[in-house]
């Protein structure tokens, strides 16, 4: 049967792994006619696409798109966004966004922004992150039932980024509400109400953040915003609007992904009772758990690029201007790269996984995400044996490229049913 794969639909996302395998074997470089995009599934090809930015650019604004309903909604949202943020559509289109830039432009911006995310700077946050995790865990009904997502995995990254940016305590609730509504509305094909709410929240966030930026310029503090505005001179210096867009990128790129990493890790562990026991006995296995989760159940399943010239990949001719989708989630399950890839095994060597991307755009927040996941999972380690999902079905979140859990309700099993369960294994 001819393969018919449509990357921007949701129907394949619930269990994408058998489909990825089929695509790797049968159509590793595949043209999806519905969206006019080229999809790349094998590890080596994904690596090549991400390592060759001159040919596969991150600036997806350049992609030649078919005029579809989705494109029209995107254009309409762009215009409404420029009105909400009070910038000209041309300014918005020309604003530099780290994730979309390439070459020297990207290198300069990244150098500047990197200062706030160096592992050493991030490590300064370790104690505070552990404290926040401790507070969340103290609220969990560990003897009964609780939702790991809403009570730990979701609030943690939002509070951390709010504190890093220097949002005052009394504005945290507003900040969280703006973030939530932006995250819900930013998804392609979000309902019109959600898009409107998102634009309203962006406007409020901008109105709140800009004076904060001006304040930090005048008298720097110890926060990330101060690092970002400090020493900003020359070409790479960001305009107020670009700084705001960067803060937005941190919110969008850093929140849901980290939430999903924590919840995906717990869910993968709980499906593997022996590994739960091992991890509970030795919580310093945590790094293996995190890296294996990034490989096995990647919070970001794919990233998009655009071909800057006609190019041939695995015998397929990709025309200039085409969108190219690199499937990280498939590369991470490629049997040509990882033995027995569909098995979660925190003891395996998962180095080289693409969970944080690869090449020049490798995740800027990787050290922070690892630190947050490390604190959350280490604190949970001893509690995990005996916990199980309240509902048998996984409540998947499949926003755009994201893969995670909308909720992960857990409860403690009665000791006798645990014993029975163990005997059955």
Q: How far apart are CA 147 and CA 317, in angstroms?
A: 48
Selected from 53, 254, 288, 386, the binder of ligand HEM by CB under 6 A is 254
Minimum CB separation of residue 191 from ligand HEM in Å reads 26
Selected from 39, 46, 99, 313, the binder of ligand HEM by CB under 6 A is 99
By beta-carbon proximity to ligand HEM, the closer residue of 77 and 293 is 293
By beta-carbon proximity to ligand HEM, the closer residue of 182 and 386 is 182
The string of DSSP letters for 314-326 reads: TTEEEPTT-EEEE
If one asks whether residue 261 binds ligand HEM (CB under 6 A), the answer comes out as: yes
Interacting residues of 149 by C-beta distance below 8 A, sequence separation 6+: 259, 263, 405, 406, 407, 408
If one asks whether residue 245 binds ligand HEM (CB under 6 A), the answer comes out as: no
Selected from 355, 380, 399, 408, the binder of ligand HEM by CB under 6 A is 355
Selected from 263, 324, 369, 387, the binder of ligand HEM by CB under 6 A is 369
If one asks whether residue 57 binds ligand HEM (CB under 6 A), the answer comes out as: no
If one asks whether residue 300 binds ligand HEM (CB under 6 A), the answer comes out as: yes
The answer to whether residues 117 and 161 touch, using CB atoms and an 8 Å cutoff, is no
Query: Which H or E run contains 368?
Result: helix 366-380
40 - beta bridge partners?
A: 29, 326
The answer to whether residues 200 and 77 touch, using CB atoms and an 8 Å cutoff, is no
DSSP one-letter code for 402: B
Helices (H) and strands (E) counted in the chain, each on its own, are: 18, 12
Q: How far apart are CA 306 and CA 251, in angstroms?
A: 24
Q: What string marks each residue from 384 to 413 as x (binds ligand HEM by CB under 6 A) or -?
A: ------------------------------
The site that binds ligand HEM (CB under 6 A) totals a number of residues, namely: 24
The string of DSSP letters for 150-174 reads: IIIITHHHHHHHHHHHT--GGGHHH
Minimum CB separation of residue 236 from ligand HEM in Å reads 13
Residues 100-129 that bind ligand HEM (CB under 6 A): 110
Selected from 249, 270, 280, 379, the binder of ligand HEM by CB under 6 A is 249
Q: How far apart are CA 146 and CA 121, in angstroms?
A: 33
Minimum CB separation of residue 62 from ligand HEM in Å reads 14
If one asks whether residue 247 binds ligand HEM (CB under 6 A), the answer comes out as: no
If one asks whether residue 356 binds ligand HEM (CB under 6 A), the answer comes out as: yes
Selected from 32, 266, 268, 363, the binder of ligand HEM by CB under 6 A is 363
The answer to whether residues 235 and 111 touch, using CB atoms and an 8 Å cutoff, is no
Binding-site ranges for ligand HEM (CB under 6 A): 58, 98-99, 110, 161, 249-250, 253-254, 257-258, 261, 299-300, 303, 355-357, 361, 363-365, 368-369
């Amino acid at each position: 049967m001819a393969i018919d794969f449509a990357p921007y639909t949701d129907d394949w996302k619930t269990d994408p792994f058998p489909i990825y395998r089929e695509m790797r074997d049968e159509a590793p470089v595949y043209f999806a006619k519905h969206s006019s995009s080229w999809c790349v599934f094998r590890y080596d090809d994904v690596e090549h696409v991400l390592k060759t930015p001159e040919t596969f650019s991150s600036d997806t604004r350049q992609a030649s798109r078919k005029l579809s309903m989705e494109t029209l909604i995107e254009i309409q949202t762009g215009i409404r966004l420029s009105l909400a943020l009070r910038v000209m559509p041309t300014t918005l289109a020309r604003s530099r966004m780290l994730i979309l830039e390439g070459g020297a432009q990207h290198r300069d911006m990244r150098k500047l922004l990197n200062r706030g995310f160096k592992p050493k700077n991030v490590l300064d946050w370790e104690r505070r992150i552990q404290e926040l995790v401790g507070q969340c865990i103290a609220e969990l009904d560990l003897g009964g039932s609780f939702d790991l997502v809403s009570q730990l995995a979701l609030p943690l990254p939002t509070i951390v980024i709010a504190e890093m940016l220097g949002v005052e305590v009394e504005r945290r609730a507003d900040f969280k509400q703006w973030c939530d509504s932006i995250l819900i509305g930013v998804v392609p094909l979000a309902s019109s109400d959600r898009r409107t709410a998102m634009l309203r929240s962006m406007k409020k966030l901008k109105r709140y953040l800009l004076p904060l930026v001006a304040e930090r310029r005048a008298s720097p503090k110890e926060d990330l915003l101060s690092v970002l505005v400090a020493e900003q001179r020359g070409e790479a210096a960001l305009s107020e609007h670009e700084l705001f867009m960067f803060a937005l990128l941190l919110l969008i790129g850093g929140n849901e992904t980290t939430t999903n990493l924590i919840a995906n890790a717990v869910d993968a562990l709980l499906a593997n009772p022996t590994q739960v026991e091992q991890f509970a006995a030795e919580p310093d296995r945590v790094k293996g758990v995190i890296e294996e989760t990034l490989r096995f159940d990647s919070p970001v399943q794919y990233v998009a690029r655009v071909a800057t010239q006609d190019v041939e990949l695995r015998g397929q001719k990709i025309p200039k201007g085409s969108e190219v989708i690199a499937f990280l989630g498939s590369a991470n399950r490629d049997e040509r790269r990882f033995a027995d890839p569909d098995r979660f095994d925190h003891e395996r060597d998962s180095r080289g996984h693409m969970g944080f991307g690869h090449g020049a755009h490798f995740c800027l927040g990787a050290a922070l995400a690892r630190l947050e996941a490390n604190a959350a999972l280490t604190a949970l380690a001893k509690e995990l044996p005996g916990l199980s999902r309240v509902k048998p079905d996984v409540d998947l979140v499949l926003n755009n490229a994201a893969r995670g859990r909308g909720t992960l309700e857990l409860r403690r099993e009665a000791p006798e049913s645990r014993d029975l369960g163990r005997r059955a294994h």
